[in-house]
Amino acid sequence: KRDTNQSKPTLMFLVVGETARGKNFSMNGYEKDTNPFTSKSGGVISFNDVRSCGTATAVSVPCMFSNMGRKEFDDNRARNSEGLLDVLQKTGISIFWKENDGGCKGVCDRVPNIEIEPKDHPKFCDKNTCYDEVVLQDLDSEIAQMKGDKLVGFHLIGSHGPTYYKRYPDAHRQFTPDCPRSDIENCTDEELTNTYDNTIRYTDFVIGEMIAKLKTYEDKYNTALLYVSDHGESLGALGLYLHGTPYQ
């Protein structure tokens, strides 16, 4: 239920990550410092008893925004039903979605949205994909165009493989040796894990920047941020790599 008598409107960032597994988050006990930026932000809570609705984005994201659980999820029903963003928009909340992961799988189709075009941001992008900090560009002007209570959704490319090394700039190449190649089965375990952990750390940097941005709005808004990844990843255990395997 919305509190229409609150003294300030709400500004919330809803961040959907990609291929990030909680096991590799230092805030969940992982031995490497993959969350140095959010850990300094204060007030960050990790919900570590969370399960994905599917092992691929095409299932997990639509399910996440539907009123169905994993066992009863039906893609056709989800695509022909109102999702979370539709319902929030109907209550009068202003919604804006920024897409940096190749498509929102239908969840943003009926709300204002933009898909990041690599050609428009050469500083952050190659010809095909962009580093996630690109979603911070033009954010102030986009927020200014929204009315009342506001929710900005971000769909990050996060840790999408197999080209993990393309998900973070050189300045965030913290864990080495890493593995700058797509045939990850030919990387050593150390190289592969370091490369993946660099993606987690870079995502943490982007979220830290979002938190810092929200703090600049605290005089005018009640602010909040929620981050949730679509699913995890296999990094060679039992001979499995990437994701999309049958749900267990």
Phi-psi region of 229 (alpha: psi -120 to 50; beta: other; left: phi over 0): beta
CATH number at residue 187: 3.40.720.10
| pLDDT confidence band for 247 (50 / 70 / 90) | low
Give how many domains the chain has, as a whole number: 1
Answer whether residue 141 is part of any domain. yes
The per-residue b/e assignment along 56-74, b for 16 or more CB within 10 angstroms, e otherwise, is bbebbbbbbbbebeeeebe
Domain that holds residue 38: 20-242
Q: How far apart are CA 47 and CA 58, in angstroms?
A: 23
The verdict on residue 5 lying in a domain is no
1 is a domain residue: no
Asked if residue 50 belongs to a domain, the reply is yes
For the full predicted model, state whether its pTM sits above 0.85. Answer: yes
Q: How do residues 10-32 score in pLDDT, each as one tens digit?
A: 999 999 999 999 999 999 999 99
pLDDT digits (tens, 9 = 90+) for 107-154: 999 999 999 999 999 999 999 999 999 999 999 999 999 999 999 999
CA–CA separation, 99 and 223 (whole Å)? 21
Q: Is residue 143 in a domain?
A: yes
**Is 139 among the domain residues?**
yes
* Radius of gyration, CA atoms only, the chain: 18
Q: Side chain identity at 190, as an amino acid letter?
A: E
